[in-house]
Structure 1
Amino acid sequence: MSMNRPAAAALAAALCLLAGACGSSSAGRADDDPAGAAGSKSGYPVTIDNCGVKETFEKAPSRVVVMNGASVAEVSTLLALGLGDRIVANEQTYGMSEVPGRAAAIKKLPTGDVKLNDAYDIPREAMLGLRPDLVLSTTSYGFDRKNGFATRDQLKAVGANTYVSPQGCDQDTSKMTIADSYRLLRDMGEVFHVSDRAEKLIAASEQNIAAVTAKVKGKKKPKVMVLFSNMSMGGNDFGSVVAKGVYNDILARAGGSNAFENAAKGSFADLSKEKVAATDVDALVVIGYNDPNPAAYARKLLKEFPQWPAAKNNTYVTLSDSMYLGPSNDLAVRKIAGMLHPDAF
């Protein structure tokens, strides 16, 4: 997901207060196919360079801990690759998914019965007590000593490899694209010796997206507002509006553009109601993060800003995990394209 870890903690605190063009996404099909997921020991050791740290794997990990990070990218990638049985503690959840059965599968995963810290994540001593052999973090924040987390060196000392997801090394995910979702799949495919499965998922996603982009090629690109439902990460009325990141790549493939791309240098913009009202918005993409009714939030916004073309045409779609870093971006591309260019499908 293209959200930094401090923002993740803010999102979690706020929560406390408050079908593809060429067939189904390949990532969805793999979730329920654990057969052959365990990589054979041949092909090891495997060494990858991750944020300037060389991580060497002597065998496929069997005690994986997935940190929170307000993401489901890592846990969804493991499930898509059929590796759910390797997870001993998962702290990621959105409560919903575009992939049938994925939210339920995530809910069934063990959490390690860990008492989480103020960032809704796993503190140092609890992490070491889980005896992991691989720890996945959305950004480098998850290994920051100052925030009470186990460092990569501390985990290495107890035999655990570590991995920071693409674009998470400097906690700036504003340059993230769909290619980073594929990189995460490829890296995990290599680590667990299931690269053939990762490549099949990637090929299916690329095929699905290519089919959509071919249908919307040359069409006018509507201006889209992308935001989280019922959340604020800033001091203004609209603090969860997307400015940059993988979202924009998804919009572009779907034949749209971000109405607020230039509103901030980072991934998110913190906007006043006046700024939002003064911008032409042709369509809404509302991202639900454990929100049981993001559609109600979308309708509320359209009623609040009746001058928008989106309001006049009732043009919106609600999405969840397919809009983030992860294995299901093709589903978001297809759904958004269908909303923006219904005549093309």
Structure 2
Amino acid sequence: MSMYRPAATALAAALCLVTAACGSSSDVASSDSTTEAAASSSGYPVTLDNCGEKQTFEKAPGRVVVMNGASVAEVSTLLSLGLQDRIVANQQTYGMSEVPSRAEAIKKLPTGDVELNEAYDIPRETMLGLRPDLVLSVTTYGFDQKNGFATREQLKQAGANSYVSPQGCDDDPSQMTVADSYQLLRDMGKIFNVSDKAATLIAESEKNIAAVSEKVEGEKRPQVMVLFSNMSMGSNDFSSVVANGIINDILAKAGAFNAFENAAETTFADLSKETVAATDIDALVVIAYNDPDPAAYARKLLKEFPQWPAARNNTYVTVSDSMYLGPSNDLAVEKIAKALDPNAF
């Protein structure tokens, strides 16, 4: 997940991750964000209604451009489906992952030798010069002309389809759930005619999460503080604290709940040190982005707030890309659950 856009916007997009089916999500069965309208026995043509725009695919895309958008959801989803050879330019990076070798695999992808614009993504003329047949963006931000990007209409005129990821239509990841990660997988499965692979990944994730949730069912739900390691997002001491979004769904499935879920209606809460100190925190979940030692940051906070139950019990867990929109939410659920309730496993 790159942090090139202004910090608050970038992290919000990432959680679209946590940088990304659109609209109100959560209920895959009734989702109106992306629906398959037609498909022949060979799998094509496939038409998706994505953020109110119909995108028809006559064959599987072969020149995919993945925009930055402070996300790794899209590139990780493509990799999980074995579609890395379709990518001609990827701008999404994170540097670490719960999935072995994923960070290294992302680093090896072509970048298209793109010189980013002032909005820290692929400018219009460069995008068109890449000759894509599919462009992926975590939100509609990536297709906004005022930011210097190619619009969806301009891409269509150049022969390219476009796709905005879950919750990206309204650019509001605060309502995102794990179901949105499954929707992204399902949609990419349809577009690339690998629906069986997508279905297998979804089923495996659901099975893993169900097994974890069963182990912690009936246990006391710890009150958790989730924040980004060594990051400042606003005017207060604790401005990178997560209040809403997919992370709350992950916590719930791991048998915990967010101590600050009511602190803001948006994805992030901008909290004072006094507010944080006055809240009983049973455990810390620290999300690492380009921090080589997030555990050190967690220990620093526990030392700073010795009154927390988390400090007395030294209870914390560090995570990375599995906390965001993407194909690996089950890994976050399992890692958090095991750290918070090791006796259940």
Query: Taking structure 1 as the reference length, what is the TM-score of the superposition?
Result: 0.89
Aligned length in residues: 317
2:83 is matched with 83
1:252 and 2:235 equivalent? Answer: no
Letter in 2 for 1:49: D
- In the TM superposition, structure 1's runs of 4+ consecutive aligned residues that sit over 4 Å from their partners are 3-12
| 1:5 and 1:171 in contact (8 A); partners too | no
Letter in 2 for 1:104: E
Whether 1:134 and 2:134 are equivalent positions in the alignment is: yes
Residue 205 of structure 2 corresponds to 205
Residue of structure 2 in register with 1:238 after alignment: 238
What are the superposed Cα offsets for residues 236-275 of structure 1, whole Å, 9 maximum, x if unpaired?
1111110000000000000000001011101111111111
Question: Could you report, residue by residue, the CA deviation over 1:137-174 in whole angstroms, capped at 9, with x for unpaired residues?
Answer: 11111111111111100111101100000111010011
In the alignment, the residues of structure 1 paired with residue 91 and residue 8 of structure 2 have an alpha-carbon distance, to the nearest angstrom, of 12
The 2-side partners of 1:153 and 1:312 are apart by: 57
How far, CA to CA, are the matches of 2:51 and 2:117 in structure 1?
25
1:175: which partner in 2? Answer: 175
Q: Is the 8 A contact 2:10 2:70 kept in 1?
A: no
Q: Is the 8 A contact 1:8 1:70 kept in 2?
A: no
1:279 and 1:46 mapped to 2: Cα distance?
50
> What SS does the aligned partner of 2:322 have?
helix
Q: Deviation of residue 10 (structure 1)?
A: 5.3
Report the Cα distance in structure 1 between the residues aligned to 2:8 and 2:88, rounded to whole angstroms: 22
Evaluate the alpha carbon distance shift between residue 52 and residue 6 of structure 1 in structure 2; reply closer, same or farther with a 3 A threshold: farther
Offset of 1:117 from its aligned partner? 2.0
- Contact 1:10 1:233 (8 Å CA) reproduced: no
Query: Which residue of the partner structure matches residue 221 of structure 1?
Result: 221
Q: Secondary structure at the match of 2:56?
A: strand
Partner of 2:59: 59
Q: CA deviation at 1:343?
A: 1.0
Describe the SS at the equivalent of 1:262: coil
Which residue of structure 1 aligns with residue 50 of structure 2? 50
Cα deviation, 1:262-299, whole Å, max 9, x if unaligned, reads 11101111111111111111101111112211111111
SS for the counterpart of 1:213 is helix
Q: Tell me how far 1:6 sits from its aligned partner.
A: 5.5
Distance 1:155 1:58, change over 3 A: same
Q: Which runs of 5+ in 1 are unaligned?
A: 13-39
* CA distance in structure 1 between the partners assigned to 2:136 and 2:274 by the alignment: 40
1:189 matched residue in structure 2:
189
1:48-100 Cα distance to aligned partner (Å, 9 max, x none): 11111111011100110111111110000000000000001111111000000
The one-letter code sitting in structure 2 at the alignment partner of 1:337 is A
Which residue of structure 2 lines up, in the alignment, with residue 32 of structure 1?
none
Aligned residue in 2 for 1:158: 158
- Go from structure 1 to structure 2 and tell me whether the alpha carbon gap of 1:127 and 1:93 turns closer, same or farther (over 3 Å shift): same
Quickly say closer, same or farther: Cα 1:11–1:328, change in 2 above 3 A: closer
C-alpha distance 4-105 of structure 1, shift in aligned 2 (>3 A)? closer
Q: Distance in 2 between matches of 1:70 and 1:131?
A: 23
Distance 1:191 1:6, change over 3 A: farther
When the two structures are superposed, what TM-score results if normalisation uses the length of structure 2?
0.89
Residue type at the aligned position of 1:154? Q
CA contact (8 A) 2:225 2:285 kept: yes
Shift of 1:120: 2.1
1:193-246 Cα distance to aligned partner (Å, 9 max, x none): 000000000000000000000011111110101111111121111111100000
The letter for the 2-side match of 1:215 is K
Equivalent-residue separation in structure 2 for 1:278 and 1:322 (angstroms): 29
Q: Would the alpha carbon gap of residues 144 and 6 (structure 1) be closer, same or farther in structure 2, given more than 3 Å must change?
A: farther
- RMSD value, Cα: 1.9
Specify every segment of 5 or more residues in structure 2 that has no aligned partner in the other structure, as ranges.
Answer: 13-39
- Give aligned-pair identity as a percent: 80
* Cα distance in 1 for residues equivalent to 2:167 and 2:259: 23
| 1:1-60 deviation per Cα after TM superposition (whole angstroms, max 9, x unaligned) | 9x9975466569xxxxxxxxxxxxxxxxxxxxxxxxxxx992211001111111101110
Q: In the alignment, what sits opposite 1:102?
A: 102
Alpha-carbon contact 2:10-2:69 (below 8 Å) kept = no
**Aligned AA (1:263):** A
SS at match of 1:239: strand
Using the alignment, how far apart are the partners of 1:250 and 1:65 within structure 2? 29
Where does residue 261 of structure 2 map in the other structure?
261
Contact 1:4–1:172 (8 Å) recurs in 2: no
**Alpha-carbon distance, 1:119 to partner:** 3.0
Task: Give the conservation status (yes or no) of the 8 Å contact 1:5–1:139.
Answer: no
